[in-house]
Each structure stands twice: as C-alpha cells, then as structure tokens.
Amino acid sequence: MSSSSIMDRLAILADAAKYDASCASSGTARRNSLGGKGIGSTEGMGICHAYAPDGRCISLLKILLTNHCIFDCHYCVNRKSSNTRRARFTPQEVADLTISFYRRNYIEGLFLSSGIVKSSNHTMEQMVECARILREEHEFRGYIHLKTIPEADAELVHRAGLFADRVSINVELPTDRGLARLAPDKDARQIEGAMNRTSTDIAAARDSRRRFRHAPRFAPAGQSTQMIVGADRASDADIVHRASGLYTQFGLRRVYYSAFSPIPDASAVLPLKRPPLVREHRLYQSDWLIRFYGFRAAEVAEATDDKGNLPLDIDPKLAWALKFRETFPLDVNRAPRELLYRVPGLGVTAVDRIVAARRHRTLRLEDVARLTVSLAKVRPFICTADWRPTRLTDRADLRSLLAPRAEQLELFAA
Ligand code: SF4
C-alpha cells in the first residue's frame, strides 16, 4: 500500500478517534493556524495525552484500527448506517506507525480503539495482535491503551490486558434504558461482566506481583470507561450515581464524560443540539468531589435542581454548600479535615496545609488567603482567629455574590 494511502487512512482513522474522550483534553475553544496566522491548533486530532501515575504527561497516537462497524449505535459517526468515509489498518501498519512516530519523538505511546469489523472476536484479535507486535517484536516499552470490546471472548480481553498499560471498556450511556435505545447491539450486563473480569484480573496480577517479582503484569494503569452526556434523558444525578457505582464495583481509575456532539448524518433519535460543554465540566468537578473530597454520590445529587441537574453557573461544591448552609461556618483552627474539604474554594492541598499549619499556630484570615485563589468564595463558610462571617453565610443573595461572571469557566475548581 502506498504511503499516501497510509496518510489518507491515518487522516480518516485519527479523525474518527477524536470522539473518544478517554484520553482527550476537551472543553477548550476552537483555534487553528491554518490560514497562515499564528502557530498551533486546538482542533487537531491524532495525538492525545494521558498522565502516568507519577504525573508525567504522555503523548499518544490516538487512532482507530478501523472505522468500519457492524453495530449501529445511534450516537456514533462510525455506525454501519452512517455515510462516512471508511478506512482500515492492519495490526502491522498500526505497529509500524507507532514505532515510526515514536522514533521521531512525536509520541510516547498508543491509544487504539476500533469499530467492530466482521465480529467482536475478530476485531479484538486484531487489536491484541497490534499490541503483541509492539511488545514482542519491537520490544516497545511505551504506554499502550487498548479499548476493549465487551462482546469479545473473555480470553481475548484478558490477552489485551497482558500487553496494555491501560484497558478501557465504554459503558457508553448512564442508564440501561439509554443504552438499549441508542446502542441496540450492546448489552449492559455484558459490559459490566467484562469490567468485572478485568477488575478481577488486575487485582489478581497485583497480588501475584507482590509475591513473585516476575509474575506477568496486567493493565498496570488500571481500567477506565467513558459515558456520553446529553444524548439521552439521563440527569446529572443519574450520571453521578452510575459513575460512583462503577468506581466502587470495578475499581475504575477514571470515568470520562463526553458531551454528546452532533455528528454528520445524525440519527433522528438524537437531540439536535449538543449539551453545553460546561455540563461536562461540572460532571468532572462532581467526579472530583467523590474521588478526592469524600462526597458520596447521594450528596452530590443533593446539589442538583428538581430535574436532577447540577447548576451550570456555579461548581457543585459551592452548590452543595449553599444548599446546606447549616454545616457552616467551619472553624479552620478546629474543624476536622473531612469537613474542611467541603468548604468551597479550599482544595485538598490547601486543607492539608491548614491542618499542618494549625498545629503550630492559630490561623488568621490572611493565612487562609494565601492558600486559595478566591478568598471571597471561602469567607462565608469559615471562621478564623480574626474572622466570623456572622450573617454573611445566611444572606439570601449569597449565590449571586459568589457566582462567577458568565464568561468565566473555573478549571478544576472544587
Ligand atoms: S460499536 Fe457502536 S460506538 Fe463502537 S464504533 Fe461501532 S457503532 Fe460506533
């Protein structure tokens, strides 16, 4: 096959992979330098980033093995009834591309997903073969993330975990009802069964490696999943409960939320408009509250409106604090750490520093000010040696005082 056709297929299959959020950075403005003005682009596809356990950012070649698919998921541009340009790589071609990009220092690893061609087993075999070529023939030590196919045989999914650093299985939609309606070829129980086996395999491999130094690794970077937001009627409360259940049941490393984006040639059962991107952002913040701030899913759900959705103008932690004002103000010199995590504007690091500092001295408002980007947000919810909010905490207009202006989007504020 000529190199130009490789380039054509690369363009198609890298573009087709951009809808997968599992390792993407999203939510930013669209910019490019195609007109010859400026440098850089936020719109490109083909390379995404993942984070290693030590915090290193790793660039990954992000492509599909093929965008042919025998399934017909309504939300997917690659579904069999879609009128999109199709392309396909062989496992050897993907391995060769990975190695040549790696040698040029463009990437440090591979994120490989695929449409389902011929059968789930055939596709999974091809993906595993690609990872095998990289690991065994090229002795590739870089990062590999394989998207696995829950309908494939358990043995094949297991083999994927032996070669990959991370495996992921998409739950796709937050509710079984939504999955049955929008992805009729998929089965929620099959997806959960595959996640469960992967979780057991990961735990077993960790246990073996503790006992035997040379025991095989199995997906050492764990498993993750993705949920599409806004394609069905699931509320934020539904999504938060589902995500929390997945973390607890299957020990997932991450749940990624992907705001449904209208696709070319869209199915009539889909909404015409994408949900606001800030909704995806609020879900990431609520995910953060559950994983790092000790909130239960039910508590995050208490911050939602009567339709079960999180407010878009303020972050979920502030929404919760405004709803449960009787919890505040908290004395930063005495309150337990887990309660301080609930103060809007105080992150985990700030709370750690407060707890460490108050062993040696009594904290004043200016000490807290040094630990937060927004003292205005913190003040109504805390007491210090020289500050009490008195009636500020209960003011009827507190929400409007604290809501950021409409154009501001607070990245990872918690
Ligand atoms: S299985 Fe569904 S989501 Fe995956 S590529 Fe095929 S149509 Fe798209």
Q: Cβ(226) to ligand 1 under 6 A?
A: no
d(CA 137, CA 367): 57
Ligand 1 centroid – CA 382 distance (Å): 49
Separation between Cα atoms, residue 88 and residue 98, nearest integer Å: 15
| Ligand 1 neighbour 69 (Cβ under 6 A) | yes
Q: Yes or no: say if 14 and 85 are a contact pair by the CB < 8 Å rule.
A: no
CA 244/CA 260 separation, integer angstroms:
20
- The per-residue pLDDT for range 33-86, each reduced to its tens digit, is 556 666 544 445 567 776 666 667 778 999 999 999 999 999 998 999 999 999
How far apart are the two ends of the chain, measured CA to CA in Å? 51
Residues of the chain above pLDDT 70, percent = 89
Q: Tell which one of 22, 78, 187, 227 to mutate to probe ligand 1, the residue whose CB is within 8 A of the most ligand atoms.
A: 78
Q: What is the pLDDT of residue 21?
A: 64
Is ligand 1 within 6 A of the CB of residue 71?
yes
Edge-to-edge order in the sheet of strand 47-51 = 47-51, 57-64, 109-113, 143-147, 166-168, 223-229, 254-259
Low-confidence ranges of the chain (pLDDT < 70): 1-4, 21-46, 50-55, 406-414
Nearest CA to ligand 1 atom 2: 73
Q: How far apart are CA 270 and CA 232, in angstroms?
A: 8
Q: Which domains does the chain have, with CATH numbers?
A: 3-297 (3.20.20.70), 316-402 (no CATH)
What pTM was computed for the model?
0.87
Determine the distance separating the centroid of ligand 1 and the alpha carbon of 77, expressed in angstroms.
8
Say how far apart CA 289 and CA 297 lie, in whole Å. Answer: 9
Q: What is the pLDDT of residue 152?
A: 97
SS3 at position 219: coil
DSSP state of 202: H
Q: Is the CB of 116 under 6 A from ligand 1?
A: yes
Ligand 1 neighbour 150 (Cβ under 6 A): no
Sort 382 into a burial class: Cβ within 10 Å, 0-12 / 13-18 / 19+.
buried
Interacting residues of 171 by C-beta distance below 8 A, sequence separation 6+? 179, 188, 191, 192, 195, 225, 226, 227, 242, 246
Q: 240: Cβ below 6 Å to ligand 1?
A: no
